[in-house]
Amino acid sequence: MKRARVMVDAVVHDAREQDGRVLLDDGRLFAEEEVDWLPPVEAPGAIFALGLNYAAHAKELAFKAPAEPLVFLKGPASLIAHREHTVRPHGVQFMHYECELAVVIGKEARRVRREDAMEYIAGYTVANDYAVRDYLENYYRPNLRAKSRDAATPLGPWFVDRDDVPDPLNLALRTTVNGKVTQEGWTRDMIFSPAVLIEYLSGFMTLSPGDLILTGTPEGLADCRAGDVVVTEVEGIGRLQNTIMEFAPPHH
């Protein structure tokens, strides 16, 4: 089942997908563009993101594939919803999308073995973890301006239960910019699978329900400009759309 959180007439509703439309908890049915979307995970906890988790992407950036997960944290204000706007800071030279499968933790996880790790997943959603290359110190230590900016990470639109995704390591990923395909890949090409990531993280810290793990992006980056409509899609999980606008500094 695909579930979501949306707002209609200033009231937040739980919703589910029905024949490509949005069915509210009160029985009303809407087209996707007739509701205001919210991130599907209410009050997310820790937000973990992976760098260089696809070997071809690492090669694209002239880096070696990492020997262990390269994980960094993001602030909750970085998240926005489906059909919202993200910001390209004024004057930057290169800002790119990152289509990612996002894992939602379902129960407390501490020192979990990888063979048991899938039991700790509640479900999945889609993330677009934008990066401003101008701000990166390097890909091993992404700084806050590059990866934790407000409105930098669209999430959603749907949350899909774990049991409705029989093989999360066999999903196609695709990004389009203004309708043109610019990125394609498969989750099977991850270096570190969700199970490995849960084992790794829970080995030294406790994971809690609602924590998010953004599992990285395949190769195929392109610069995005103000006005571009970017769609990141993960097979069976959802199609996440947002539009880029430019932020201009205030005049003095």
**Summary mean pLDDT of the chain:** 92
**What is the rounded CA–CA span in Å between residue 167 and residue 164?**
9
Q: How many CB atoms lie within 10 A of CB 210?
A: 16
**What is the rounded CA–CA span in Å between residue 144 and residue 146?**
5
Q: Residue 126: name the closest of 166, 177, 175, 71 by CA.
A: 175
Flag whether pLDDT at 23 surpasses 70: yes
Q: So what's the pLDDT on residue 84? A: 97
Q: So what's the pLDDT on residue 252? A: 46
Flag whether pLDDT at 121 surpasses 50: yes
> Is residue 204 situated within a structural domain?
yes
> Is residue 16 situated within a structural domain?
yes
> Is residue 56 situated within a structural domain?
yes
Dihedral angle, C-alpha 8, 12, 16, 20, nearest 10 °: 30
What is the DSSP track for 146-194? Answer: HHS-TT-EEB-S-EEEGGG-S-TTS-EEEEEETTEEEEEEEGGGBSS-H
Same domain, 52 and 14: no
Flag whether pLDDT at 130 surpasses 80: yes
Number of domains in the chain: 2
State the average pLDDT over residues 25-38: 97
Range of the domain at 30: 1-36
Flag whether pLDDT at 16 surpasses 70: yes
Q: Please check whether residue 38 is in contact with residue 22, taking contact to mean a CB–CB distance below 8 angstroms.
A: no
Condensed to tens digits (0 to 9), the pLDDT of residues 142-177 reads 667 788 889 999 999 999 999 999 999 999 999 999
Q: Pick the residue with more confidence: 234 or 146?
A: 234
Same domain, 129 and 90: yes
Q: Please check whether residue 38 is in contact with residue 6, taking contact to mean a CB–CB distance below 8 angstroms.
A: yes
Q: So what's the pLDDT on residue 136? A: 77
Condensed to tens digits (0 to 9), the pLDDT of residues 64-103 reads 777 899 898 999 999 999 999 999 999 999 999 999 999 9
Same domain, 132 and 75: yes
Three-state DSSP string of 201-246? HHCCCCECCCCEEECCCCCCCCECCCCCEEEEEECCCEEEEEEEEE
Same domain, 16 and 85: no
Flag whether pLDDT at 134 surpasses 90: no
